[in-house]
Amino acid sequence: MADPKVSKRTHDIVERAADWFVRLQDARDEKTVREWERWCQADPEHAVIWRRFAEMDQSVPDGRRGQDQAAVQTVQLATRLRSRRRHLKLLASMVTVGLAGTGTYRYACDAGWLAEYRTGIGEQRALQLGEPGIALLLNTDTAIDVVDNAPFVDVHLHGGELLMDSVDRAQRANVRVVTRDATITPDRARMVVRYLRRGMHRHTLAALTAGRAQVTTIGQINGEIIAGQATSIGAGRIAMAHRYPEREFAWTQDMLVAENMRLDAFLEELGRYRQGIVRCDDAVAGLRVTGTFRIHDTDRVLAVLAESLDLRIEMRSRYWVTVMANEANA
Amino acid sequence: MYRQHHAWLFGLLRHRLGGQHADAWDLVQDTFERVLRHRKWQELSQPRGYLSAIAKRLLIDRHRRKTIEDAYLAALAQQPEPVAPSAQDIAEVVEHLNRVCMALDRMPDRMRQVFVRARINGQAYDVIAQQLKLTVNVVQKDMMQAWQRIYHAIHG
């Protein structure tokens, strides 16, 4: 860290000057000021370096100075973003697993604007937070922002889905998941949190297969959720969605589980793993889908659906798919 | 060494920078410049490892500088009395803030927290001491060392 170009003498003077600089911030009694003056005058280099400290006092933003606010906010943002290098530790491979078969290499600093970590469509990424690590797995099209909010570490889930595993911790960790609806604090849990916005509608879902979690919604509703259920969370309510949390973990094994799901809802889910749009006709939207599908190959899933539900898949392009009734049998 | 490795580094950086040829090329030059300036580069047995480490540091610096510039411009626009400083003034401030942030990046966590709270956020030492469970003496020592580092980041 020490710059070899700086002599020891200069280094020592800077150290002394820094000491005076901090001391004089709140001790302005005569005795101290006179001692400082004596030090300043003892050597010309002392005065030169002191002048630079005085300049720094003007140029380094001070939160108490009105005219510094733009610079203050800038440094605040930069240090918040910087905290990702402290809290994110990539696994050794540094390879993102591409569900669509595209493996890409990424570095920790390659983040989306104001989102500290982002996965593309069809991509998953594994991360560790802190040491020892809490394992995080991000699903397709997910953006998170890791923020140092001492004593907590807040993982802001801007959109998408993540798995957080803190089961192996000796005690409750201080990592939380924050969505627009609520703050969720897991306690030695294995938890999936999903936060999706569909038009005007937004929705947080938390599912646990181990441990428990505290939930505080933005409407100040508090609750505890336990393993064995999937819970739907909104601003003003915490309600059980269903008792099969494992379904919400299927994506971590590259699978999608449907249980009597409407076709339009199913296609919406599938569409998260695909570039472009997948629509279906009103005529078939209400058909029910049940089964376990490998999401590695979404074209294949569509083909299987078409076959089992007697549908026609129209691909105007790879990016525009419409699912409709098979007219041959209409 | 340049002849041997510059094309490889260019390819690597171009990919990292999303296809920006000019920026990647600049970074290749900067990287080699640093390596040739500081090290006994003839003695490097694995130049690529060293080159990519330097390049990565430069990338991080570049990213930080861009972040600072964007954030500063956005913050300026949001001020109650919006100011429009000259491009030169902005460049100077951005350079300055970049050095401050670089020093902050390299500080131990506690020191950085103390400095940000005290100077950037304007918190009093005794409040910081209480919230971080330290003594005021320790806070002052951290501040002193923080200022020292910032001095060296700005003046060398």
**What are A268-297's pLDDT values in tens digits?**
999 999 887 888 889 999 999 999 999 888
Write the CATH number for B93: 1.10.10.10
d(CA A156, CA A158): 6
Count structural domains, chain B: 2
Q: Do residues B72 and B4 both lie within one domain?
A: yes
Q: How far is B4 from chain A (nearest CA, A)?
A: 23
Nearest chain A Cα distance for residue B108, angstroms: 11
Residue B101: what pLDDT?
93
pLDDT digits (tens, 9 = 90+) for A20-66: 999 998 778 889 989 999 999 999 999 999 999 999 999 999 998 88
Q: Are residues B37 and B94 in the same domain?
A: no
Taking CA–CA distances from B139, the nearest residue in chain A reads A22
Distances, alpha carbon B19 to alpha carbons B4, B13, B14, in Å: 22, 9, 5
Cα–Cα distance measured from residue B25 to residue B14, given in angstroms and rounded to the nearest whole number: 8
Q: Which of A10, A22, A25, A94 to mutate to test the interface with B (most CBs of B within 10 A)?
A: A22
Q: Check residue A88 and give its pLDDT.
A: 45
**Which residue bears the tokens 């500290």?**
A116
Interatomic CA distance for residues A158 and A161, integer angstroms: 9
Query: Of the residues B25, B57, B84, which one is the last residue of a structural domain?
Result: B84
- Judgement on whether residues B94 and B40 belong to the same structural domain of the protein: no
Query: Do A71 and A61 contact (CB within 8 A), yes or no?
Result: yes
- pLDDT greater at residue A235 or residue A267: A267
Domain boundary among B53, B84, B115: B84
Q: How far apart, in whole angstroms, are the C-alpha atoms of residue B35 and residue B23?
A: 18
Do A83 and A147 touch, CB atoms closer than 8 A?
A: yes
**Predicted TM-score of the model (pTM):** 0.49
Contact A275, A268 (CB under 8 A): no
Identify the domain boundary among B62, B84, B106: B84
DSSP-assigned states of every residue in A113-145: TT-SEE--TTEEEEEEETTTTEEEEE-TT-EEE
Rounded Cα distance between A227 and A121, Å, is 29
Q: B56 or B68: which carries more pLDDT confidence?
A: B68
Least confident stretch, A100-109, A138-147, A215-224: A100-109
Q: Phi, psi (5° rounding) for residue A136?
A: -125, 140
Residue-number span of the structural domain to which B150 is assigned = 85-156
State whether A61 and B145 contact (CB < 8 Å).
no
Same domain, B53 and B111: no
* Residue A158 one-letter amino acid: H
Residue B100 has pLDDT above 70, yes or no: yes
What residue in A sits closest to B125 (Cα-Cα)? A26
Contacts of A240 (CB under 8 A, 6+ apart): A229, A230, A231, A232
